[in-house]
Amino acid sequence: MTRFLFCLCILFVWSCGEKDSNTSSVFFAGEIVNPTTNKVVLYKGDTPLDTAFLDMSNRFVMKLDSVSAGLHHFQHHPEEQYVYLEKGDSIQLRLNTINFDESLVFSGTGEAINNFMVEMFLAAEKEEQEIYDLYELEPETFAAKMDSLREMKLSSLEAINAEEDLTEEAFKMANAGIVYGSYIFMEAYPFYHRRKTGEKTMHNLPDNFYSYRNIIDFNDEDLTYLRPYYNFMKYHLGNLSYMECKSDCGDRHMSAGRRLHLNRHKLRLIDSLVQQRELRDNLYRNVAMDYLLKRDTEENLSQFMADFKKLSANNRHMAEINRLYEGIKRMQPNMSLPELVLYSAEEKPVALSELSNGKKTVFYFWSGSEMGHFRNINKRIGKLSVQYPDHNFIGINLRTDMARWQSLLETFGLDKSKQYWADDFDRVTHTLIIADPNKSIVAQDGIILDAFANVYRSF
Ligand SMILES: [Zn+2]
């Protein structure tokens, strides 16, 4: 009954989906099926604007007095997705956390642009594999394929625009999502082409292959948090730094310190290309995260941090980067495993360090919301357990409701003595430095042997 009444209220508020141009206030509301936390947080960039708690029927409502029009994102921990908001909007979403992005639907004013952005997001995820197969093509053919894919999307944006009359800003955002998303593949092409064809050197590219580089904009603040734009910047910098090193430094740096060397190129390139403060800080942060999260010597790590601080001392993410660096220093070989409490299938608390007593122990990680990954890693661990009978393999579950975790253990017939559950996702991922889903930690008797192992590559 209460649910019915609530629906009526919603209908009343969003009566005909017309934008109310007399008000600058914004309604943002929705329903979360299978919530993973009790709240929804709305962000502009990395600034939280408002938090709304779910009610008894898992609905939330936010009313903001005013917003600066543009791209926002909402977070229902640990997932997040865009929402594009303009003054006077009243928009409602519905999603199911079991299929977060796929189930997300917007209604109300702004539904056209928002549903289009989700559609493009999902299309991009899907086409990644298809495009991966195209990397073997010669550059001219590959570029022509990318052109036609992009044109197809742009014309579907034109069609939506003709029907819904998007604002200029909304159109620009969707347009940028399409074009930058497509340029990512152009930046990646030479590397994947070499890998797929097995060619010894980088393939020569026609003069106009990168012609779009003349029109890319490093300083458009509206695009800073648009994923395709940001990802494009990452690939672009990766491409430029590799090519720069190849032409300036030759083969001098092909040895052990190569990763540090290449990342120094990247840091300098950001410094020379990007002036817009937020994008610059975010890209610097990305280089730092990317570099720090892979194994390197303590000496190289500290050299990197010194360089980083020289170029980006006032980085808005400095505290986070320092914390990661300190965390990594605590996860070096011969250090003790950090103090963390996990739970057994019988819901008993157990210290992480106790789980590695006796045998060499390999900790790996999985989540009930990534079922594809869960199946793959299970298969892999099954194989490794046969290959390494003297090792103990222990699964740590993250980001899953405890009851659901327990039922997954039953359904998949997992050995309960080798499965543990973590409740504090942030704390566990920060302490154990988990960024790669296939990361594993090898330890024995509470002492770290290798905290940066990988279940596929390290065994
Ligand atoms: Zn170099």
What is the mean pLDDT of each successive set of 10 residues along the chain, which is 459 residues long?
36 42 82 94 92 96 89 92 92 93 92 92 88 95 96 95 91 95 96 93 93 94 93 96 89 73 94 94 94 88 94 92 92 94 96 94 93 95 96 94 94 96 89 91 96 93
Q: What pLDDT is recorded for position 369?
A: 83
Domain with CATH 3.40.30.10 in the chain: 341-454
What pLDDT sits at residue 84?
94
Amino acid (one-letter) located at 217: D
| CATH code 2.60.40.1120 region(s) in the chain | 2-109
Which residues fall inside 5 Å of ion ligand 1, going by CB? Answer: 245, 249
- The terminus-to-terminus CA distance of the chain in angstroms comes to 57
For residue 23, what are the CA distances in angstroms to 64, 66, 168, 171, 377? 11, 9, 19, 22, 52
From ligand 1's centre to the CA of 267, what distance in Å?
12
Ligand 1 centre and the CA of 262: distance in Å? 6
pLDDT of residue 22: 61
Q: What are phi and psi of 152, to 5 degrees?
A: -60, -45
Can you read off the two tokens belonging to residue 182?
Answer: 């497509």
Per the CB < 8 A criterion, the answer to whether 317 and 300 are in contact is: no
At 445, is the secondary structure helix, strand, or coil?
A: coil
- pLDDT for the residue 13: 37
Name which of 254, 287, 292, 239 is nearest 452 in CA terms.
292
Strands 70-76 and 105-108: unpaired
Where do we find the tokens 């292959």? 209
Q: pLDDT value at position 68? A: 85
> Residue 455 has what pLDDT?
96
Q: Which CATH class is domain 341-454?
A: alpha beta
- pLDDT reported for residue 370: 86
Number of other residues whose CB lies within 10 A of the CB of residue 452: 20
DSSP alpha helix (H) spans, 19-70: none
How far, in Å, is the centroid of ligand 1 from the Cα of 192?
Answer: 21
Q: Give 281 Cα–ligand 1 centroid separation in angstroms.
A: 23
The pLDDT value given to residue 255: 67
Residue labelled with tokens 């001219």: 140
From the candidate CATH numbers 2.60.40.1120, 3.40.640.10, 3.30.2130.10, 3.40.50.300, the one assigned to the domain spanning 2-109? 2.60.40.1120
Residue at 300: amino acid letter? N
d(CA 335, CA 328): 11
Tokens of 10: 């919603």
What pLDDT score does 19 carry? 53
Q: Which residue has the tokens 């141009």?
A: 21
CA distance 387 to 384: 5
User: CA-to-CA distance for 53 and 59, rounded, in angstroms?
Assistant: 8
C-alpha 320 – ligand 1 centre gap (Å): 28
For residue 20, what pLDDT is reported?
52
Q: How far apart are CA 68 and CA 95, in angstroms?
A: 25
pTM listed for this prediction: 0.79
The alpha carbon of 249 and the centre of ligand 1 are apart by a number of angstroms equal to: 5
- Contact call for residues 91 and 114 (beta carbons, < 8 A): yes
